[in-house]
Structure 1
Amino acid sequence: MNTIECDLLVIGGGLAGFCAALSAAEAGQHVVLLEKTAQTGGSSAMSGGCLAFAGTDLQRKHGITDSSELLFTDLIEVGKGECDADLVRLYTDNQLATYEWLRTHGVVFSDVIEAASGQSVPRVHNVDPADMVRLLEQTARATGKVDVFMGTRARRLLRSEAGRVTGALAEQAGEVITFSARRAVLLTSGGFVQDRALIHRFAPQYDNAVFIGGEGNEGDGLRMAWALGADVRDLAYIKGTFGKHPTDDNNHHACLVVYKGAIAVNQYGHRFVDESQSYKLLGDAVMQQTYGVAYQILDQSIMDSGDNQVRILDFTRRLEEGLFVEAQSLEQLARLIEVPEDVLLAEVSAYNEAVRKGEAPAFGRRHLVHQHGQLCPIERAPFYAYPSTAAVFGTYCGVVVDTQMRVQDVFGEPIEGLLAAGEMIGGFHGAAYMTGSALGKAAVFGRIAAATAGTE
């Protein structure tokens, strides 16, 4: 059996893995990174390319006043208080330095997105996610201190007699290889969106949802940590993202027209939710409707407010793809989507009247998204409907870690030599989700894990 040695063994080749690998290499560590699939990137590369940062030069350029403290407050509020405040504070204290570190390594942020889930001010910085991961991978490899093993699946973690994690057994083309880590093993292998049995075990309400994520996200890291007694949290908060077209297999992203002023109605033409909430909470709400499907209803003014630089706001492309239903009147739109005309007209009329009076419509909606943006009436023809369900893009729950990214066992003690970062940790998001916080935490916590490994 072959044995390959390194200082830090990273299991998973997404954003968290390569941020950790590059950071560790810059500190002089020899890193081995294992990726079980044929290409790196995982769910990171398939994401919308949003990272939540506060206090950046791009925000100042647009006159946006933001701070780490406001970001902290929003994250706690969006998470319904169910998140680990120490992890949230760790993120907010380190996010600006991570933004600058990414820029130093050539990551280009196109701009700040205005409409984003869970934010009091615009703070989502947009990138091409696949390009970002490729760039960090190339930069890491170029250090000469990072070796990447593709098509290599970690199967079991190895421990010393004293109980310290010392490496992993992995399989490559039918051959078993031992990887030995002098400092630490870092799990960055993502969640388990591709394991429907695990999804059913923890979130059976999403059995009929759409599932989209990296092909390798089958819970490998979670199971390996479980086997060593790792504690877990937030499994009850697995949620889908509202806005995925239920019949389209080509578009792997949600369309969030509600964040630009659309309303959501169910099969009976009724609004059923405050559309400004986190799209994870909207995902819960739509799955409780008949068939788990709703319609985002909008007019031409809202259609014109889209942003073709942002996948979730690229309404024009979705229209060109034939995913919107278009009509010259609300009556015609109701007939086309087969909801009662009188109900839809009454809902839109009541909504518009509340908006014009400056009052909160039904369900208490006061903003476009979270605490940002003014509501607008739906009145300018033509009118559109976007069929929408929930898609589970990631599980965002998993092992318990401390502020050094050390995995904790069920008794609250660190499992020596074992670290985790990225999607497979629990505690950060809590009950819901802020746009950009998944990629953001992957980058921030990946770097912190590398720093911890340097002290082991």
Structure 2
Amino acid sequence: MSNSVEADLVVVGGGLAGFCAALAGAESGLSVLLLEKTDAIGGSSAMSGGCLAFAGTDLQQEYGIEDSPETLYQDLVKVGKGEADESLVRAYTDLQLDTYEWLRKHGVEFQPVIEAASGQSVPRVHSVDPADMVRQLEKAARATGKVDVRFNIRARRLIRNAAGRVTGLTATSNGEELTITGDKGVVLASGGFVKDQDMIHRFAPLYDNAVFIGGEGNEGDGLRMAWALGADVRDMVHIKGTFGKHPMDEMNHHACLAVYKGAVAVNQEGKRYVDESLSYKLLGDACMQQSYGVTYQILDRGIMESGDNRVRILDFERRLEEGLFVEAESLQELAKLLELPEDVFLAEVEAYNQAVADNEAPEFERKHLVHEHGELRTISEPPFYAYPSTAAVFGTYCGVKVDPTMQVFDVFEEPIEGLLAAGEMVGGFHGAAYMTGSALGKAAVFGRIAAMTAAA
């Protein structure tokens, strides 16, 4: 490789946001150089649960699900608890349906939409094989003849010209220093920082003892590069883990969310401690504040059978086959197996069941299965099950301040010309909590927007 490489647009990161930006840039006529820090594409995107939040699709209509961009907008704003930048939410909802069709055109296959999930007032989980989705976009990008993908290159510093515009970056590859130029700018799509323990501690010490799962390259490189130019940040205080990760299972990275089918969450003292219908990011916060940061999802046979093997977070039968559930013929036996105070635990489940039977909200004012969807059910049909659960940080969901064109802004609210961001690098979109599917969704939508801005 030459020590100097040029392209119209430089994209940093080979996950979903990066390849959406690269492909959209190529479709706009730009030559694109995509840099991947590791030796493989996918990053955290490929390790995700494969859920994207879209509204108004044909897959929803097939099941009679009434949804719209406006309903999606209202849900995202509500879940964000007033902390989300509503202009970013609007940018997402305006382009999400077109992006869904664009992904399908490029070979991405979606499963039927039948489940509502965290933060959704109606079912809008559009599930994919996430690794295959990135592969399809890589294939489409390479097929344009305008995208050059290079591996094992670590971006180091952004380069500005005399006028202050970002025109490229320096990088290293196998110990060699490189200068990479992008006349139309640089898109930072390099993910978050789940692999940098010091940075996690700086912004989210509550999660020091959580499980961290993400792409090996997610060490905050893009964030540091933007900081060096004075970039502002958003949502750093809202870093949260996802509830439902089994603390002892090293093979299965995904959360299990039986609470969204009617299970209750109890702590080591045998007591419920939260409204289980909340965003699983807020459930993660609540879990990490309990003894040892590990709690249990308690369910019965009916809830077990209501799982869905097409949705990873609801694939209860597979987890049961893998031996991850604790199973018992009675709640008393379950309490003994979990070493919970039996009298406290039994009273807690009895009080919950009685409230549900009386059509009253149980303690913590739980009213639905998930968000505002689904009727509560009792936990009364043996056998009974418990799923040990902690919080796993799958992504940091915070990052640089951008406007709806994905232009990065500095701490004085001035644009850093030529610098764009997409995906997990972007702050301000989620706010205080998170809707299932909005992370992969924003990676796709914002990746496209960043490329469109560069081309314009």
Q: If the TM-score is normalised by the length of the shorter chain, which range does it land in? A: over 0.9
Aligned to 1:165: 166
**Pair 1:377 & 2:375 matched:** no
Supply the distance in 1 between the matched residues of 2:116 and 2:426 (Cα, whole angstroms).
Answer: 27
State the match for 1:425 in structure 2.
426
Q: CA deviation at 1:3?
A: 1.0
Q: Which amino acid aligns with 1:91?
A: Y
Deviations 1:117-152 (A, max 9, x none): 000000010000000000100110111000001011
Counterparts of 1:388-403 in structure 2, within 5 Å, are: 388-403=389-404
Report if aligned partners of 1:266, 1:272 keep a CA contact under 8 Å in 2. Answer: yes
Taking the aligned partners of 1:198 and 1:2, their CA distance within structure 2 comes to: 31
Which residue matches 1:39?
Answer: 40
Alpha-carbon distance in structure 2 between the residues aligned to 1:88 and 1:108: 25
Asked if structure 2 preserves the Cα contact closer than 8 Å seen for 1:113 and 1:126, the reply is no
User: Per-residue displacement from partner, 1:193-243 (whole Å, max 9, x unpaired)?
Assistant: 000000000110100100000000000000000000000011000000000
**Aligned-partner residue type, residue 153 of structure 1:** R
Question: Corresponding residue for 1:409?
Answer: 410
Give the AA of the match of 2:282. Answer: L
Amino acid in structure 2 at the alignment position of 1:350: A
Give the Cα–Cα distance (whole angstroms) in 2 for the partners of residues 359 and 81 of structure 1.
Answer: 28
Question: Which structure 2 residues correspond to residues 234-313 of structure 1 after superposition, within 5 A?
Answer: 234-313=235-314
CA RMSD of aligned residues (A): 0.7
Establish whether residue 229 from structure 1 lines up as the match of residue 230 from structure 2: yes
Question: What percent identity do the matched residue pairs reach?
Answer: 74
Retained in 1: the 8 A contact 2:116–2:124?
no
> One-letter code of the match for 1:231?
D
User: What is the number of equivalent residue pairs in this alignment?
Assistant: 455
Separation in 2 of the partners of 1:46 and 1:94?
A: 25
In the TM superposition, residue 341 of structure 1 has moved relative to its aligned partner by 1.1
Alignment partner, residue 450 of structure 1: 451
Q: CA deviation at 1:115?
A: 3.5
In structure 2, what is the equivalent of residue 203 of structure 1? 204
Equivalent position amino acid for 1:354 in 2: A
Q: What amino acid is the match of 2:376?
A: L
How far apart are the structure 2 equivalents of 1:142 and 1:187? 23
CA distance in 2, matches of 1:215, 1:31: 24
SS at match of 2:417: strand
In the alignment, what sits opposite 1:386? 387
| Counterpart code for 1:175 | E
Map residues 344-355 of structure 1 onto 2, 5 A cutoff. 344-355=345-356
Provide runs of 4+ in structure 1 moved above 2 Å: none
What corresponds to 1:179 in structure 2?
A: 180
Q: For the residues of structure 2 that align with 1:303 and 1:162, how far apart are their CA atoms?
A: 61
Shift of 1:2: 1.6
Residue 9 of structure 2 corresponds to 8
Distance (whole Å) between structure 2 residues aligned to residue 137 and residue 307 of structure 1? 30
C-alpha contact 1:13 1:34 (8 A) present in aligned 2: yes
Aligned to 1:105: 106
* Residue aligning to 1:131: 132
Cα deviation, residue 291, structure 1? 0.3
Task: Give the SS at the match of 2:10.
Answer: strand
Shift of 1:113: 4.3
The one-letter code matched in structure 2 to 1:135 is Q
The answer (yes or no) to whether the contact 1:91–1:445 under 8 Å persists in 2 is yes
Q: Distance in 1 between matches of 2:159 and 2:404?
A: 24
Aligned equivalents of 1:111, 1:192: Cα separation in 2 = 32
Q: Is the contact between residue 164 and residue 417 of structure 2 (CA under 8 Å) also seen in structure 1?
A: yes
Unpaired segments ≥5 residues, structure 1: none
Give 1:414's aligned amino acid: P
- How far apart, CA to CA, are the structure 2 residues paired with 1:130 and 1:106? 13
Q: 2:317 aligns to what?
A: 316
Is 1:334 the counterpart of 2:306 in the alignment?
A: no
Deviation of 1:30 after TM superposition, in Å, equals 0.2
The aligned counterpart of 2:143 is 142
Deviations for 1:307-329, whole angstroms, at most 9, x for unmatched residues? Answer: 11111111111111111000000
Letter in 2 for 1:351: Y
Deviation, structure 1 residue 345: 1.0
CA contact (8 A) 2:301 2:381 kept: yes
The residue aligned with 2:221 is 220
TM-score, normalised via structure 1 length: 0.99
Task: Give per-residue Cα distances to partners, 1:263-322, cap 9 Å, x unaligned.
Answer: 000001100000000000000000110001100000000000111111111111111111
Q: Distance in 2 between matches of 1:363 and 1:113?
A: 27
Task: Please state how far the C-alpha of 1:112 moved relative to its aligned partner.
Answer: 1.3
- 1:243 partner SS: strand
Shift of 1:255: 0.4
